[in-house]
Structure 1
Amino acid sequence: MLTLTFDQRLPTQLPRTLPVYAVAAPISPMRDIEAIAHSWPDLTLARAKVRRIGEWVSADYGQLRLIYQQVSGAVQARVTTAGTRVANTRFPLDDARVVEIARAFLTKFSLVDDEVSKLALGEVTHLRRQVASSDGIGSPEILDAGIFFTRVIDETPIAGPGGHVMVKVLPNRAIAGASRVFRPRGHKVGTVHIMAAGDALTEFERRLRRNRNLDEPVRVLRAEFGYFEGGRSYRQRFFEPVYAFLFATEGEAPLKSVEIVQASGSNRGQPGATYF
């Protein structure tokens, strides 16, 4: 029998309506890549060596290497001269300091259009390694800090795999790299009424039964409300509010998946299909 248990529940305070925005048409990949490269602080760039593979473009400037996804404008950047990652059993910079360094970097750097001060802090992670030797496995060593920010649209968070920017900070305060999945927001195209959270849960359960043929216990790992932004390769036309459920099953054929319920109550196609 289908039963739901929740590690996280939907928020109780929700707006009655929210705007829907178009995703702005991206500028040409090379113009975007050049703008990013030449705004990166304190680097001497060589002439770019450019390669194109399907939807991806890579540009090697010697001291900086960029990989660009043409569908979404997602970017991964790595500085080759940021210095050697020195292992530390304790990272010398606390979280508040690395967040400050990351925000200061983004303020100078053409990676996102939104005001840096309005980005929400997601989390601070650390890259760790353990070295094996004849004496056994050593203690975990910390190589860098990854500061993860998420976008906010009209005081509403993002729900989905996109809408974020990450900065890597080394122990010497140098920037080792950055990445984004952060589509440009265009003009307002309409407004949607927000479905009640209880109705969204009912629709989620209906889809589990009818669309996924589930008749077993389901654990909801995360339940979110926010503007949907897809991942790197997702073709997206609109920013529209949704309910997002990350869930898992157990048993002989365990499943982990995501179900997106449009907060407008529409079941037709991509977010943005219906508004007034």
Structure 2
Amino acid sequence: MGLSERQQQLLDEWLPSATIVRDHSWGIIGTCVLELEHAGAHYIAKAADAEDHHLARELRAHRNWLRPWTTIGRAAELIHADDDAKLLLTRYLPGELVEGTPYEWMPETYHQAGELLAALHEQSAVPDDTYEDRENERIRRYLRMPHRIAPDVVEQVRTTIAHWPTPPALVVPTHGDWQPRNWLIDHGVVRVIDFGRADLRPAYTDLARLAAQQFQRDPALEPALLAGYGSDPREPEAWQRTRLREAVSTAVWAYQVGEEPFEQQGHRMLAAALADNSTG
């Protein structure tokens, strides 16, 4: 997508005569991410379309939860934002994406990621009596959307959810997409980007994507992250529920946006989560 007229107007006010250095947009969802240069400094502008629900969460994270990272240069500083226009501007954060580089498979990367995650999670913790019910209903909604999950598997998921307990959950500020595609590396230092899924959730949910991906390929990375974090936040039954929810949402979302490799990963996650649930 491109910028709306209002978004372009705001950028012209914030950074007059800025030039576009690079377009970092994914092209999958309706978010435009531009690297800009103005007066010798670089910035990142993120603009969302009318259907987007992520930018509001990103702004909430910048305003409330990122100080432990921004004060040490591990996340970008928010410069300007307009909630109604769905536009934000941050200082450019140097580094290259960890994903696809040798750093993706270095335990030191994960030790740093664990330390950063602990700093985020430690800011606050509050009980949430409705978290489990909300998450169960979210997965039921996903199952009502178009997908390629087999009918017998759908029924198994529905039956499994129906028998789950719904205890109160302790929720903390979470990133929501904690994995190497949202980490930068700069001279060996890990930094963090993309807060469009940030929200209050149980701490262990930030391990879900790593557990389904990098931890599977290299088991040495998991203890490295936990050593940096300082403990293992996963309680077995709650973790099992999270794995199944993550599997369903991955398979359904990826199908809807046409990301077939990611969809297949979701189906593998689903098979593994259901198998563990039946033996757990």
Provide the TM-score with structure 1 as the length reference. Answer: 0.28
Between Structure 1 and Structure 2, the one with more strand by share is 1
Higher percent of residues as helix: 2
TM-score, length basis structure 2: 0.28
* Structure with greater Cα Rg: 1
